[in-house]
Amino acid sequence: MSSLRPRATPRATTPRATTALLGAGLALVTALAATGCGSGDSPAAGDAKSAAGGDRAADVRLRWTACSAPTAAQGSDGKAPGKAWECAKLPVPLDYAKPDGEKIELALIRTKARDKDKRLGSLVFNFGGPGGSGVATLPALATGYDKLRERYDLVSFDPRGVGESAGVRCLSDKENDAASQVDGTPDDAAEERTALATNKAFVDACAKNSAKLLPHVDTLSAARDMDRLRAALGDDKLNYFGISYGTELGGVYAHTFPGNVGRAVLDAVVDPTQDPVQGNLGQAKGFQLALDNYLKDCASSAQAARCPTQERIVSLLKKLDAQPLPTRQGRKLTQDEAVNGIASALYSKDTWKFLTQGLQEAMNKGSGDTLLLLYDLLTGRGSDGRYSNLGPANRAISCADARQRYTADDVKGRLADFRAASPVFGESAAWSLLGCTGWPVEGKWKTIDVSAKGSAPIVVIGNTGDPATPYAGAHRMAEGLGKDVAVEVTYKGEGHGAYNSGNSCMVRAVDAYLLDGKVPAQGTTCS
């Protein structure tokens, strides 16, 4: 399993989705990995002025201009987002301990509210990752938030270290391709040495190419950036829609600036109480649950005769461990790529049919085409062979946050637990714990403190079938925020996230809060 932490999977193509296979209206498939990072040394709650650099943030005048096409680092399809969109740059301190020192610029994008007379301000989105480009993603998904645009300027950004906001750089595209062919779930000492050497090469490349950035791409710094963004937008309060990792960022923001929280929604919620081992183990169970649900659904459908079984999937993965499958691209589908390709299709029920297609191709035709495409979408690889910086940014932010560092012996000592959690995803989830091994920057915390006493109500949405951010995490986030702050809402469904499911009950509840200030009843459930 990839070492990427989860990000949003709204129902639209990823900005670099390259084929009609996952055409418009389908899930943006993404990352699979550890969710347990959090805050322990943030500034005192309510100390917004000292944390964000004070009134200097409000003095920034944003210069909005026509947007050009997103870059390769952001995940570009080569097309500009259109006349309704404007882009700008926001200068922020590289190091908030030196607020008057070196600056970096954050890439911003917005589309203005249609009803100027009833405009409520800006609604800032973070779609997750960490590492997802908001500049590339928001225009691609904006139709799903069209009603909110009536009264809000829809705004997003590339967080620090992401895309065009001083994006972290590590390996070259060719080196990334080569690294993807290395067995990430080693079976013997030789494979283990190769896997560890590959991980070290990635870490060394990040240190060589992005040394100055790595200490400063943590989530707390990103939360401080968001408060500067709020001020620069001219808003007294931050109205916020955070999805997947965006819920972690939202929780850290609320803890750091509780008095600055406006109307906020957290959807597909990261569990703030888990360390990386607990987070990875929880995700192995979550993706196994989603796979079980997919298999049951497929077996009861009209295409039941084409449906795989878990036993056949496990057998396929064992064969791939020994002999990768060919593809029309000329690349080989490895065991690790297949596991992540399967996982990516589980982020939305809309892509389950492509999972069936990919597994049938692999099992019956000896072709890895569809599963490799799903893997490429997850890792940000375009059909031209260029990668977005999703992977490097994800690793850098995760390792700047999490203090824990694991060894191969630590992983091997927990393999039995992970295999028991999932015969398909368990081993990969376990070995991905080595992602921060040897990282040149010490992490900031062991688990997140999201307590937000004094904050406005925050709607916290959990999805019972969510594979990447399992349902229990929403309740723990709500407990962490505080009973007088968090309002828990449940969606009984499949896929990563709830609002993007199109469920009318869920959409009504969120829209009523964001547009009219009507807080949902505690415990509201949609199905």
Q: Take residue 490 and report the two structure tokens written for it.
A: 């449940």
To the query of whether residue 235 is one of the catalytic residues in this protein, the response is no
Interatomic CA distance for residues 424 and 430, integer angstroms? 12
Residue 233 is which amino acid? L
| Residue 255 annotated in active site | no
Q: What is the pLDDT of residues 283-314, one digit of tens each?
A: 999 999 999 999 999 999 988 999 999 999 99
Model confidence pLDDT, tens digit, residues 190-209? 999 999 999 999 999 999 99
Which of the residues 153, 348, 466, 501 is marked catalytic? 466
**Running DSSP on this structure, what letter comes out for residue 381?**
B
Which long-range CB contacts under 8 A does 405-408 form with residues at least 24 apart?
405/436, 405/437, 405/438, 405/439, 405/443, 406/276, 406/277, 406/433, 406/434, 406/436, 406/437, 407/434, 407/437, 408/192, 408/196, 408/434
pLDDT tens-digit profile of 221-237? Answer: 999 999 999 999 999 99
* Phi, psi at 110, each rounded to 5°: -155, 160
Q: Tell me if residue 383 falls in helix, strand or coil.
A: coil
Closest to 4 (Cα-Cα) out of 223, 166, 162, 188: 162
Q: Enter the pTM of the model.
A: 0.92
- What letters, b where the CB count within 10 A reaches 16 and e where it falls short, cover 3-40? bbbbbbbbbbbbbbbbeebbeeebbbbbbbbbbbbbbe
Q: Which tokens belong to 406?
A: 């694991």
- Is 280:406 a contact under the CB 8 Å cutoff? no
pLDDT in tens, 380-435: 999 999 999 999 999 999 999 999 999 999 999 999 999 999 999 999 999 999 99
User: What strands lie across the sheet with 86-93, from one edge to the other?
Assistant: 65-66, 86-93, 103-111, 152-157, 121-126, 238-243, 261-267, 458-465, 486-494, 524-526
Give the residue-averaged pLDDT of 10-37: 30
- pLDDT, residue 4, reads 44
DSSP 495: S
Residue 267 Cα to chain centre, angstroms: 12
Q: Residue 107: in which H helix or E strand, if any?
A: strand 103-111
Q: Are 460 and 266 in contact (CB under 8 A)?
A: yes
What pLDDT is stored for residue 78 in this prediction? 80
Q: Which residues pair with 463 in a beta bridge?
A: 491
Average pLDDT over residues 107-120: 98
DSSP state letters, 237-302: SEEEEEETHHHHHHHHHHHH-GGGEEEEEEES---TT--HHHHHHHHHHHHHHHHHHHHHHHHTST
| CB-CB contact of 359 with 393 (8 Å) | no
> What residues contact residue 209 under an 8 Å CB cut-off, 6+ apart?
168, 169, 170
Q: How far apart are CA 509 and CA 499, in angstroms?
A: 9
In the annotation, is 496 catalytic? yes
Instruction: Tell me phi and psi for residue 154, to 5 degrees.
Output: -85, 125
| Residue-wise pLDDT tens digits, 234-283 | 999 999 999 999 999 999 999 999 999 999 999 999 999 999 999 999 99
* Average pLDDT across the chain, whole number: 90
Catalytic residue, candidates 158, 432, 451, 496: 496
Give the pLDDT confidence of 129-140 residue by residue, as tens digits: 999 999 999 999
Q: Which residue has the higher pLDDT, 172 or 39?
A: 172
Q: Which of 244, 348, 388, 451 is catalytic?
A: 244
